[in-house]
Amino acid sequence: MTKPLRVLFLMEDLCFGGTQRQTLELARRLDRSRFTPVMLTLTGPTDLDKAAQDAGIELHHMGQGRKVWPLFFAALCWRLRALCPDVIVPCTALPNIWGRIWGRLAWLGSSGNAPLVVGTCRGGGGPKRQHERWLWRLTDHMICNSEALREILQGFGVPAAQLSYIPNGVDTEFFAPTGTTPSARSPEILCVARLAGDKDHMTLLRAFELVLQRHPNARLRIVGDGPEEANLHTWAGEHVAGTNVDFIAGGLDMRAHYAGARVFALSSVREGQPNVILEAMACGLPVCATSVGGIPRLVEDGVNGFLSVAGDAGALAENCCRLLADGELCDAMGQAGRARVEKDFSFTAMVDAHQGIFAGPRTY
């Protein structure tokens, strides 16, 4: 019997976040008769460790706390070799830089087979942060999660045979509409996103100020953690609208938040294909979002939500107000989003596509 391939997911951390949760779901769902999932983080234990361990995933850390160990790059070479991967899948910027470099250098002169290196590019800032113009050449294959990213990578010269666009998947049984329609709920706008610059929560807060002028009972719920947390709390404390804003720490299960909202909003300036939009759509929520990255692939303007230009607080506010004021439209868009997810974004298709690449040929 052929021994399962060891697939090593090199992660910056396992904090609550879209990339982390999507990668965890992929690792959990791999066919264990063909693949053994392994995870190595540049930090110590964080939010999703228990979920990984409960899924039977072999988990290792390079650091102690929640921050990336400063000297990880010096020790990464021997850690990779010690874990004996057949496939290395770096996720997010730092792993995609150093994981590719050591994924090549660590096996130079070795009599054993070098691992397959599968680079990933997610989020609108990924190509620049990961120096994809040059570093894609260190991969056997590249995976991106939006058509916009695929076009960028093709522009850098990545051959079509070496590049795959694989949409994110969502569990439509886990994320499903509740018995209460969005229009029957309180006027709550929900945003689930890491509190980071790419998500541009400040534009969302400014938009919410405008929403309150027409819907004074509305509330904004922001769920997430991240480096911009202090700045956002400061803004809320200095503006009257802040009294109607609830900040809630991120978590593994977002279903209760989706079930309590009338509208889902995302104000990102850069994106790949946001998991949270798929989850919100699967739960039957209409979406107001910016037309960046892969979002227009998910949100069809006027069908399952509304799109606006990034940074335009007035347009985002207007879109949210349309849905808060029109319950029939709100419900119809939520139903259209649910149908779209069921049709085009299953986990099964996502996992099968990855497995085909992990078992595929090497270019090095």
Residues 216, 273: Cα–Cα separation, whole Å: 32
pLDDT at 294: 87
Average pLDDT, integer, range 261-276: 94
Q: How confident is the model at residue 16 (pLDDT cuts 50, 70, 90)?
A: confident
Q: How confident is the model at residue 307 (pLDDT cuts 50, 70, 90)?
A: very high
DSSP helix/strand/coil, 226: coil
Q: What percent of the chain has pLDDT over 90?
A: 86
Q: Is the pTM of this model over 0.95?
A: no
Residues 93, 314: Cα–Cα separation, whole Å: 33
pLDDT at 110: 74
Instruction: Give the list of residues 6+ apart from residue 224 with CB closer than 8 angstroms, or none.
Output: 16, 191, 192, 193, 194, 195, 199, 249, 250
pLDDT at 252: 81
List pLDDT tens digits, range 21-60.
899 999 999 999 999 999 999 999 999 999 999 999 999 9
Contact (Cβ atoms closer than 8 angstroms) between residue 292 and residue 223: no
List pLDDT tens digits, range 328-357.
999 999 999 999 999 888 888 899 999 999
- 108-112, 143-147, 241-245, 255-259: the lowest-pLDDT one: 108-112
Percentages (nearest 5) of helix, strand, coil residues in the chain: 45, 20, 40
Unique residue bearing structure tokens 């989850």: 279
Residues 342, 359: Cα–Cα separation, whole Å: 27
DSSP helix/strand/coil, 174: coil
Cα–Cα distance list, 129 to 32, 54, 90, 125, 206 (Å): 33, 32, 14, 6, 28
DSSP helix/strand/coil, 349: helix
DSSP H or E segment with residue 102: helix 93-105
Tokens standing for 137?
Answer: 């050449």
Task: Look at residue 1 and tell me whether its pLDDT is greater than 70.
Answer: no
pLDDT at 179: 83
Residues 32, 36, 40, 45, Cα dihedral to 10°: 40
Going from the N-terminus, what domains does the chain have, and what CATH number goes with each? Answer: 5-169+346-358 (3.40.50.2000), 182-344 (3.40.50.2000)
- 166-170, 204-208, 322-326: the lowest-pLDDT one: 166-170
The phi and psi torsions of 9 (rounded to 5 degrees) equal: -90, 110
